[in-house]
Structure 1
Amino acid sequence: MYQYFNGLVIREGTVGVPAEQVEVLFKDAGWARNTPEWQKEKFTLIFTNSTWAFTVWDNEKMVGMVRVISDQIMAANIMDLVVLTAYRGKGIGQKLVELCVQKLPHGDWFAHTSANNFSFYKKCGFEVRDLSENGTCTYYGYIQARKDGHRV
């Protein structure tokens, strides 16, 4: 699946995500540095072993990504959500979370993240219950199912 968002292309899929592009995003976010050559394949394998993934492209440059692990029935975890610094503040992250939740709209969603991202996840409809250094933001699909009239 491809779709356009503010002049960018969003691709859905877990296969063929280029490791070097993922590494650039992880370095920009401060999640990786000096990765040994023999370990670089992990940047592709994390997608291969994920349930869902979306990548955001500005021509041939990947500028954002999210990957999800889920049972595809009841629960899903956002494992990595990152947007290049130069592209932040343009709604890309929120769009990626929206696309994820659409995959399992009445499921329970979790995002393990640091406290500085809590406000972002709140804007995306998640609740933040743990206000310590790190915590899990949750999106309970059964609440949305009630609002949508699918559940009593």
Structure 2
Amino acid sequence: MKIAYKTRKEFAIQQLQELFLSVEWSSGDYPDKLQAAMKNSHTVFSAWDKKKLVGLINCLSDGVMTAYIHYLLVRPEYQGKGIGKELVNLMIKKYQDCACKVLIAYDDEIGFYKRCGFEIGEGETPMFITYLTI
């Protein structure tokens, strides 16, 4: 299996919906919003198995001080193959000169992000106002 990594912001709605629902993220129920979100992201890297979207990472950034990695997802049948790690590496390299690279990790993913070089903030708590299931 040869995975191709691409920088792009344009996706078919169905591609995004299938990817997000494959990992049971409720944002997959809003494919129009996901499509707009990718277009409005500062950077998006995607992973492809031929014509199948199998992974994605996006970043919201000012390009200088802060890079906020919002989404990182890989289809379950492609997990454990280094795709997520490669997507994170691409993003870290892209924003290597930014003073702060930040993300919010689900508890069961903390080990993965630590292996990617992220640390848990001391005395910091993520906060939300959202209608999505978190």
Q: Calculate the TM-score normalised by the size of structure 1.
A: 0.75
Local SS of the residue matching 2:105: strand
Query: Structure 1, unaligned stretches of length 5 or more?
Result: 1-5, 137-152
Cα deviation, 1:57-107, whole Å, max 9, x if unaligned, reads 111110000010000001111110000000000111010011001111132
Percent identical among aligned pairs is: 29
> Could you tell me which residue of structure 2 aligns to residue 48 of structure 1?
39
Cα distance in 2 between the residues matched to 1:70 and 1:57: 24
Q: Does 1:24 align with 2:18?
A: yes
Give the letter aligned to residue 23 of structure 2: A
Deviation at 1:131, TM superposition (A): 9.5
CA contact (8 A) 1:115 1:135 kept: no
2:113, 2:26 → 1: CA distance? Answer: 23
Unaligned 5+ segments in structure 2 are: 128-134
Name 1:123's counterpart in structure 2: 115
Alignment coverage as a number of residue pairs: 126
The equivalent of 2:7 in structure 1 is 12
Q: Which has the higher contact order (CA 8 A, sep 6+)?
A: 2
For 2:41, what is the secondary structure of its paired residue?
A: coil
Q: 1:97 aligns with which of 80, 88, 100?
A: 88
Secondary structure of the equivalent of 1:128? coil
Which structure would you say has the larger Rg? 1
After TM superposition, the score normalised by the length of structure 2 is 0.84
Match of 1:61 in 2: 52
